Structure 1
Amino acid sequence: MTTGQDLIDQIETFAPLGLREPKDPTGLQLGDPNQTIKKVLVTLDVRPEVVAEAIDKQVDFIFAHHPVMFRPAHNLDTRNPQNKMYADLLAHHITVYAAHTNLDKAQGGMNDWLAAALHLENIQNIPSNEADTLYKFVVFTPIANADLMRSALADAGAGEIGNYSHASYTLAGQGRFLPESGANPTIGAQGKLETTQESRIEVLVAETKLQAVVQAMRQTHPYEEPAYDIIPLKNSASTIGLGRVGDLAHPRSILEFAEQIKQDFKLSGLRIISHNRQQKIQRVAVIGGDGGKFYPYVLTTGADIFVTGDIYYHVAHDMLANGLAAIDPGHHIESIVKPQMTAKIQTWGQQFGWDLTVIPSELSTDPFYFI
């Protein structure tokens, strides 16, 4: 049996809620996450036509990139199409979950998918002023389990310091415990004080990776009740990336690059912001969705061009004044979430033995058509 919460826990391990922008209504949108789920629909937007598709396909969980409840409902008058949509979801017991700006920032998430689709190399985060809270994570484990534990913690993202990974510190000592009635000890017996040789493993963990590290520890630890500490630190981890920046394999003109984007994303049109469309470019920054306001951070990366959607008229002028060209392919290129998250949830299903069917929405929710 797989519940919605099982899936949500894994989503939030991959794209922690701590990454979301302030006031972004990311997370559970509607429904009961404790109910059993059998079929998941992945979509960019939750619109009435998508809900009709979900009902027709007997879906019981919708994963969306864009939150369905950006604005609170002031009444439940179902003559309003949005309220009617909520009512239909509830009537058919469909749980809706959205991962928005946390998925944009997550390593291996939206902006990494877009960077790969743009054929970028040497991909790095676009730095921001936002820094991750840092913790010291300490776990006590039998010495024979220490190597496996260190590896599991590192694979989950612990022990990353600058350009180094797998950083940890280990001390040997004696662990003591008394298994009480009802305990099922890996070492020792009920009612008998036990002493065993253990390793104390210390690693640094960013808050956005903490849930994944705790989960990895529990899956790897041989004890039914592992002992561990989570200690907040004053120093902070590396900055969280708003988007990604990378290089094209070879310089290209802005117009050539724009034509390639149009072809790859199957667009009927896009906007170019440049004084010279024949200018050769190689270093490219990308932020999915509406990222124009973040162009000052892009300037620090040395990017020749910035790819993002919904660029505001006056922001476009400011970009040009600062010598930054841009391509606006629209917001809907984030529909890349459909194949990517479908594949990811399917992988989780195989990994955890979930009995789930996962399907991408077949509908386009792009509200614009170019002529």
Structure 2
Amino acid sequence: MGYTVRQVIKVMEEIAPSYLAEEWDNVGLLVGGLEDEVRKVMVCLDVTEDIVYEAVRKGANMLISHHPVIFEKLRSLRSDVGRERLVYLLARNGIAAYCAHTNLDKVSGGVDDVLAARLGLQDVKPLSVDQRERLYKIVVFIPKGHEDRVMDAMAGAGAGWIGNYSHCTFQINGTGTFMPLEGTNPYIGQQGRLERVEEVRLETIVSANRLDRVIKAMLEVHPYEEVAYDVYPLANRIEKHGLGRIGKLQHSMLLKEFVDKVCNDLGVSNVQVAGWRDTEIQTVAICGGAGGSLISKAYSSGAQVFLTGELKYHEAQAAAELGMVVIAVGHYPTEVFIVQELVYRLQKAFDALKYEIEVFAAETMSDIYKKVGR
């Protein structure tokens, strides 16, 4: 059986919905077509020439990257010029390229949550909530006796999740009426006769990115030939997505101890620190990549230190003037751990769907910066 880029994207939309991306960002399918065949998926942080050639060698039909291979406008598609050459090589070798960037930064379980977990932060929350998850209420009418089966199917597909509670529904008994007409094959009743059936009205909540999957799961187990159900958009939204994270260390430590911990946890030999002073650290704000825009938010949220990948000189200077300690680890070390997480989550999802698609991490990934000198 062949599998397509469209099917892979549907899984990625559940992991990191594209509607969460910043307006300036360029996410989604950037090279290739929705109906292109996929047998192997390679996950990487950046799309480089080495990455493309590795994909070719290993027979990968699709790349999933964190950073977009196309960001600035392309004015040509030459085979010998920088970024244009990468796109040319992908297209020439029939490799689709998909990007999950700021949407993967913001979403629960994404870049910033993986970074927070790596540092051992507890009670982690988004630092800046600027996107809200779109929610729907789905209502379905079920003949009495079948409600548990339908509820389990919908919950298994992702409906009825509120915080750490699953199977959250409201159910009420009532009477449903219908008249089967010519050409029908009713589960209950006879053609041409009005039927009154004891039914259960079941209603539950579902996020936008799981709505189609929940409806499909419900229809597959519902006994009726024609199912009566309603879908309502909701104004109340769960505020759980946003850039950056803030959390607490298991126990307080001096800044020097925390810097040593950062180097050990993230596998780096040194970091840049602005606003250094002999202070105890307990509350930590973080942002993978370039998080300079969140310094004020980190300060007002009560963090003693803000850790990110890279900062502009004047951003670090402004933080020091606020009395905020900032640590710049390097862009690559704060984001690279999402690659293995994506490999794991994608393979788990494909296995559950019985998709025979192999997922693996690129081996030729590397930090663009190299440490040289004494």
Shorter-chain-normalised TM-score: which range?
Answer: 0.7 to 0.9
The CA distance in 2 between the partners of 1:355 and 1:184, in whole Å, is 36
Structure 1 counterpart of 2:19: 18
Q: Distance in 1 between matches of 2:161 and 2:350?
A: 28
Once the two structures are superposed, residues 97-132 of structure 1 have per-residue CA deviations (whole angstroms, 9 ceiling, x without a partner) of 111111111112221111110111122222434444
5 Å matches for 1:34-113? 34-113=35-114
Q: Which residue of 2 aligns with 1:136?
A: 137
C-alpha change, 1:171 and 1:59, in structure 2 (3 Å) is same
SS in structure 2 opposite 1:76?
A: coil
Alpha-carbon separation, structure 2, partners of 1:136 and 1:325: 44
* CA gap 1:252/1:36 in 2 versus in 1, 3 angstroms: same
Q: CA 1:234–1:353 in 2, change beyond 3 Å: closer, same or farther?
A: closer
Mapped to 1, the partners of 2:153 and 2:301 lie a distance apart of: 33
Q: What is aligned with 1:199?
A: 200
Classify 1:225/1:281 alpha carbon distance in 2 versus 1 (closer, same or farther; 3 Å). farther
Distance of 2:316 and 2:345 partners within structure 1: 35
Q: Deviations over 1:2-33 (max 9, x none)?
A: 22211110110121112111121111111022
- 2:210 matched residue in structure 1: 212
Q: CA deviation at 1:265?
A: 2.0
Contact 1:27 1:99 in 2 (8 A): yes
Deviations 1:239-262 (A, max 9, x none): 533222211111112222222222
Structure 1, 345-354 or 224-233: larger mean CA deviation: 224-233
More displaced stretch, 11-20 vs 136-145:
136-145
Distance 2:189 2:289 in 1: 56
Pairing of 1:104-123 with structure 2 (within 5 A) = 104-123=105-124
CA contact (8 A) 1:268 1:369 kept: no
Report the equivalent of 1:318.
Answer: 318
Give the drift of 1:43. 0.2
Q: Name the amino acid aligned to 1:14.
A: I
Identity of aligned residues (%): 34
Q: Please give the secondary structure, in 1, of the residue aligned with 2:35.
A: coil
Q: Report Cα offsets for 1:321-354 as digits up to 9, x if no partner.
A: 2232121111112111221111111111210111
Q: Which whole-Å deviations, capped at 9, do the CAs of 1:155-196 have from their partners, x for residues lacking one? A: 666556689775433232315364775x77665688887654
Give the Å deviation of 1:298: 2.0
CA distance in 2, matches of 1:68, 1:190: 59
- The 1:88–1:227 alpha-carbon spacing in structure 2 relative to 1, beyond 3 Å, is farther
Q: Which residue of 1 aligns with 2:178?
A: 176
SS at match of 1:341: helix
SS at match of 2:243: coil
Native 8 Å contact 1:128 1:297 kept in 2:
no
Paired position in structure 2 for 1:306: 306
Gaps of 5+ in 2: none
Unpaired runs of 5+ in structure 1?
none
Q: 1:130 to 1:31 in 2, by over 3 A?
A: closer
Number of aligned residue pairs: 366
> Contact 1:46 / 1:68 at 8 angstroms: preserved in 2?
yes
Q: Which amino acid aligns with 1:176?
A: F
Mapped to 1, the partners of 2:145 and 2:365 lie a distance apart of 53
Match of 2:30 in 1: 29
Deviation at 1:291, TM superposition (A): 1.4
- Matching residue's letter, 2:49: P
Partner residue in 2 for 1:297: 297
Q: CA RMSD in A?
A: 2.8
Contact 2:286 2:306 in 1 (8 A): yes
* 8 Å Cα contact 1:142/1:198 also seen in 2: yes
> When the two structures are superposed, what TM-score results if normalisation uses the length of structure 1?
0.88
Question: Kindly tell me: are residues 251 and 6 of structure 1, through their superposed partners in 2, closer, same or farther at Cα, counting changes over 3 Å?
Answer: same
Kept after mapping to 1: 8 A contact 2:129/2:239: no
Which residue identity lines up with residue 178 of structure 2 in the other structure? Answer: R
Alignment of 1:331 onto 2:331: yes
Structure 2 length as normaliser, TM-score?
0.87
Q: Do the aligned residues in 2 keep the contact of 1:268 with 1:370 (CA within 8 Å)? A: no
Q: Which amino acid aligns with 2:101?
A: H
Mapped partners of 2:209, 2:182: distance in 1: 29
User: Counterpart amino acid of 1:250?
Assistant: H
Whole-Å separation in 1 of the counterparts to 2:62 and 2:345? 15
Superposed CA deviations along residues 244-300 of structure 1, whole A, max 9, x for unmatched, are 221111111222222222222222432112231x32101112211111102232234
Per the TM alignment, residue 137 of structure 1 is displaced from its structure 2 partner at its CA by 2.9
Amino acid across the alignment from 1:283: T
Separation (CA, whole Å) in 2 of partners of 1:348 and 1:142: 32
User: Is the counterpart of residue 342 in structure 1 residue 343 in structure 2?
Assistant: yes
Amino acid at match of 1:302: G
User: Structure 2 vs 1, CA of residues 283 and 231 (structure 1 numbering), >3 Å: closer, same or farther?
Assistant: same
Native 8 Å contact 1:162 1:238 kept in 2: no
Is 1:273 the counterpart of 2:274 in the alignment? yes
Instruction: Measure, in 1, the Cα distance between the counterparts of 2:319 and 2:87.
Output: 40
Moved more, 168-177 or 321-330: 168-177
